[in-house]
Chains A and B, each alone.
Chain A
Amino acid sequence: SQQGEEDPQALSIQEGENATMNCSYKTSINNLQWYRQNSGRGLVHLILIRSNEREKHSGRLRVTLDTSKKSSSLLITASRAADTASYFCATVEGLNYGGATNKLIFGTGTLLAVQP
């Protein structure tokens, strides 16, 4: 099952510009995570924001969460060509809060292309 959708589906920007991706989800969540996937590779965890948090920063990444709207955004500042990848939001479903055994459900993804 798919949790939600991401917008835009594809984004092309110039190096140095900022990239913003949006994610909407459908159910109540404990946390929302963002992952990056380079073409044909596995996923790399970028950042996690809990349901009681509204904004979080990590390096050039900024994530916001609006639980009333069931939406999140990922901002990548001062983009680089190496940021070219697909970006996915994912939410944790399940009731087990004792460990990482809850299902992680992914959004549809945004393909980001950063032109040098």
Chain B
Amino acid sequence: GAVVSQHPSWVICKSGTSVKIECRSLDFQATTMFWYRQFPKQSLMLMATSNEGSKATYEQGVEKDKFLINHASLTLSTLTVTSAHPEDSSFYICSAGGGFLRFDYGYTFGSGTRLTVV
């Protein structure tokens, strides 16, 4: 089945630094990847849709300059949290779509990244 690998699983960084999270589709080509953010005991909030070779589409209220998304290849999308602050601490999850994965067969998610900014 389709596998999405997300790294790192957890990261602790100092306030003001930047953190990069990678999301890779291992056995399929993902023309589209989605990035979600989840606060403790809450649901997933869609942050942006990442399309290979083009600019990401951000949801309303999400800062483009804070959360940089790059989807340079069909198997890799990255989310960079720039100048991180404690309020950016959260669980970030990616999901892949496109290729042979039709939307009516469900989406494949990465295992998530726990970001803690101190």
A101/B31 in contact, CB under 8 A: yes
Determine whether B27 belongs to the interface, using a CB cutoff of 8 Å to chain A. no
B104/A50 in contact, CB under 8 A: yes
Determine whether B101 belongs to the interface, using a CB cutoff of 8 Å to chain A. yes
Choose the segment among A11-19, A37-45, A77-85 that binds chain B (4+ C-beta atoms closer than 8 Å).
Answer: A37-45
In the complex, the number of residue pairs spanning A and B with C-beta atoms less than 8 Å apart equals 86
**Min CB–CB distance B85 → chain A (angstroms):** 22
Chain B residues 30 to 48 lying within 8 A of chain A, measured CB to CB, are: 31-32, 34, 36, 41-46
A48/B106 in contact, CB under 8 A: yes
Residue of A nearest to B31 (CB): A101
B101/A40 in contact, CB under 8 A: no
Neighbour of A40 across the interface among B44, B91, B95, B105, CB < 8 A: B91
What does the 1/0 interface line of B83-102 toward A look like (CB < 8 Å)? Answer: 00000000101011111011
What does the 1/0 interface line of A7-46 toward B look like (CB < 8 Å)? Answer: 0000000000000000000000011010100001111110
List, sorted by A's number, 7 A–B pairs whose CB atoms are closer than 8 Å.
A42-B93, A45-B109, A48-B106, A99-B97, A100-B101, A101-B49, A101-B51
Chain A residues within 8 Å of B, Cβ to Cβ:
1-2, 30-31, 33, 35, 40-45, 48, 50, 88, 92, 97, 99-109, 111
